[in-house]
Copies of this chain bind each other. A is one copy, B any other.
């Protein structure tokens, strides 16, 4: 089973578009709790509510060897039918990207990874070649700085288009294995809408709801494919830091449930409009 099938199966089973971001920050976690134990509690409390998990590897690297070990151990306790997308935003010259792909897919065993397009095709190709794994190319990110370069108007095939649209276009061209998706931030709903129109079948990984301020209704309405799927909507801090007390896992579950149900409500509205 490839990544796309795995995420669709999990999404169907748990009736969920929700991806939980596993981004442990000890200063925001309950006191004295280890990262692995924190993750374990969060996963146990939410794994029947999600279509995927998304650990951002930066939070583990910041904790050194202990953090990386916690991430490796976390991988072992996530149920095998729930895909794990590592948010790593990697990309390097071909020879080096081979090592990154190997680290993320072989050493850690992630089902999908986010990659950065700035270095072009040979930086992404080693990831694409793992045809059963997913590759999410950063297209329109959720942060304020996304405007700096991604919005620049470029001359491309005799037309002018913003850089992020060119990235999406090239991503389609490179998608011979059918395993490429796009990262599109919820904080830019108009761009999300446009990108969905231009890329009707690609899986979108959509960060930016919750703490970053993206609107849930617009995210669902604009992010879903015509079939009402292919949107993986991430929420991290809002869920995992719902409480800093002993009830953090329970609070995370409650928040995850609310978010999942809200997404489903908008999904039903979307689907009834489609049909």
Q: A residues bordering B, Cβ < 8 Å?
A: 23, 25, 56, 58-59, 61-65, 68-69, 72, 87, 89-94, 96-97, 99-100, 102-103, 107, 116-124, 138, 141-150, 152-156, 160, 163, 166-167, 170, 207, 212
**Given A62-B107, A103-B64, A163-B163, residue A120 in contact with residue B143 (CB < 8 A):** yes
Question: How long is the Cα–Cα vector from A166 to B75 in the complex, in angstroms?
Answer: 40
Once the chains bind, are B120 and A56 in contact (CB under 8 Å)? no
Residues of the B chain whose Cβ atoms lie less than 8 Å from the Cβ of A207 = 93
Question: How long is the Cα–Cα vector from A80 to B62 in the complex, in angstroms?
Answer: 23
> In whole Å, how far is A183's beta carbon from the nearest beta carbon of chain B?
10
Q: Can you name 12 A-B residue pairings with CB atoms under 8 Å?
A: A62-B103, A65-B68, A87-B96, A89-B116, A93-B141, A93-B145, A116-B118, A117-B149, A120-B144, A120-B149, A122-B144, A153-B155
Once the chains bind, are B58 and A99 in contact (CB under 8 Å)? yes
Chain B: CB-nearest residue to A69? B65
Question: How long is the Cα–Cα vector from A144 to B142 in the complex, in angstroms?
Answer: 28
Question: How long is the Cα–Cα vector from A23 to B97 in the complex, in angstroms?
Answer: 12
> In whole Å, how far is A272's beta carbon from the nearest beta carbon of chain B?
34
Question: How long is the Cα–Cα vector from A116 to B119 in the complex, in angstroms?
Answer: 9
Question: How long is the Cα–Cα vector from A96 to B59 in the complex, in angstroms?
Answer: 7
Residues of the B chain whose Cβ atoms lie less than 8 Å from the Cβ of A145 = 93-94, 119-124
> In whole Å, how far is A243's beta carbon from the nearest beta carbon of chain B?
20
Once the chains bind, are A118 and B149 in contact (CB under 8 Å)? yes
> In whole Å, how far is A114's beta carbon from the nearest beta carbon of chain B?
9
Q: Which residue in B62, B143, B152, B160 is a CB contact (below 8 Å) of A156?
A: B152
Chain B: CB-nearest residue to A97? B58
Once the chains bind, are A58 and B92 in contact (CB under 8 Å)? yes
Once the chains bind, are B166 and A103 in contact (CB under 8 Å)? no
Residues of the B chain whose Cβ atoms lie less than 8 Å from the Cβ of A154 = 152-155, 163
Once the chains bind, are A92 and B170 in contact (CB under 8 Å)? no
> In whole Å, how far is A220's beta carbon from the nearest beta carbon of chain B?
21
Chain B: CB-nearest residue to A174? B148
Q: Which residue in B62, B119, B163 is a CB contact (below 8 Å) of A141?
A: B119
Question: How long is the Cα–Cα vector from A138 to B72 in the complex, in angstroms?
Answer: 30
Residues of the B chain whose Cβ atoms lie less than 8 Å from the Cβ of A150 = 118, 120
Once the chains bind, are B121 and A148 in contact (CB under 8 Å)? yes
Chain B: CB-nearest residue to A164? B118
Question: How long is the Cα–Cα vector from A192 to B25 in the complex, in angstroms?
Answer: 41
Once the chains bind, are B107 and A59 in contact (CB under 8 Å)? no
